Amino acid sequence: MELYKLTLISILNRKTFAIFAILLVALPFALPYMTPWESKPSLLEPARAQMAWVLLWTTAISWLLFQGATIGDRWSSQGLLEYFKTLGVSRPKQLLQIWLSCFTVFAGMILITFVISTFTAMPGDAVEARHWLVTNLQYVMLFFLVVAPLLTLAISLGTRFNGAAAYAVTIGIALYGLFGISYLEVFLADNKNAFLNLVYLVSPHYHLSDLTSRLVFKLGSVPWGELGRIAGYLGGLGLLTTGISYQLYREGK
């Protein structure tokens, strides 16, 4: 696990994660006070949960994927991955160790978000509280199914191209899957276009993992059958993304 340790120590040494960690802790408590909470104090808790999850998505897109892309670029350019190859560390193990080092730090951020959203914004009613806890757990699982493979893709693209290009491609895919598809869906509601329908079908529907509105409007947890279908879809998409990432991964440029 030397590559894991070397990458982790590099991430920790640069300390940029600390800025996002501080924002993840502070902003969910500060920003909800910008809502008209005085007239409706019950807004504070859902706003806090919303802010916590929005910040986590922002951190994933702006920090995690960037780390993966630039580390892949640097390690590949600097001969480090070829060095570990000669020591017998295979491509899958290298990719896993780099992924694990980025996710070790990010896991702490997911935990911060989960704790803030679950325990500092939990409704008082017992039934609602149980749904709240389950919804947050479901959200963590679906979030992981989207972000984990995207990180793998960012790292692999970084080993093959430069870090900026790798990052741009990965966040482009992420943002399209989270938001862009909604615009396509609106367009297709009024326009029957076979090609665009096909594009819609094969697009990555990452927005399915976004349970923020269920928390804000207290809609309750996702029914288990539906959760299973969503998780199955995102898990399959994740496996496909990981497989493509493995093919793209290179030890040297």
Partner 1 sequence: MKSSEPSIHIPEGLTIGYSDRFHRKQTHLAVAGAPIDLGDGRHLLLARNGRGKTTLLKTIAGIIPSLSGKIRCHGTVQFVDEDLRFDTELKARQIFTALFKNGQRKFALDMAERIELDVEKAYGKLSRGNRQKVGLIIAEARTYHNGPQVLLLDEPFSGLDFAARDKVDQIWRENEEGIVRLVCVHPDEPTLKADSAVTIREGRLEQLEVNGTLDWMETRLSLN
Provide the binding-site residues for partner 1, judged by CB under 8 A: 2, 5-6, 8-10, 13-14, 74, 78-80, 82-83, 85-88, 251-252
Q: How far is the CB of 152 from partner 1 (least distance, A)?
A: 21
Sign of CA dihedral 190, 193, 196, 197: positive
Q: Answer yes or no: are the C-beta atoms of 55 and 24 closer than 8 Å.
A: yes
Q: How far is the CB of 246 from partner 1 (least distance, A)?
A: 18
Q: Answer yes or no: are the C-beta atoms of 209 and 234 closer than 8 Å.
A: yes
Q: How far is the C-alpha of 222 from the C-alpha of 211, rounded, in Å?
A: 9
Closer residue to partner 1 (CB): 79 or 228? 79
Closer residue to partner 1 (CB): 81 or 121? 81
Closer residue to partner 1 (CB): 84 or 139? 84
Q: How far is the CB of 91 from partner 1 (least distance, A)?
A: 12
Please state, in angstroms and as integers, the Cα–Cα distance from residue 132 to each residue in 29, 32, 55, 110, 175, following that order. Answer: 18, 19, 19, 17, 27
Closer residue to partner 1 (CB): 2 or 226? 2
Provide, for the chain, the percentages of residues in helix, strand and coil under a 3-state DSSP scheme, each rounded to the nearest 5: 85, 0, 15
Q: How far is the CB of 170 from partner 1 (least distance, A)?
A: 21
Count CB atoms within 10 A of the CB of residue 44.
Answer: 16
Q: Answer yes or no: are the C-beta atoms of 142 and 230 closer than 8 Å.
A: yes
Closer residue to partner 1 (CB): 7 or 117? 7
Q: How far is the CB of 4 from partner 1 (least distance, A)?
A: 9
Tokens of residue 26, six digits: 């502070």
Closer residue to partner 1 (CB): 70 or 136? 70
β strands within the chain, DSSP E? none
Q: How far is the CB of 61 from partner 1 (least distance, A)?
A: 23
Q: How far is the C-alpha of 253 from the C-alpha of 251, rounded, in Å?
A: 7
Count CB atoms within 10 A of the CB of residue 249.
Answer: 23
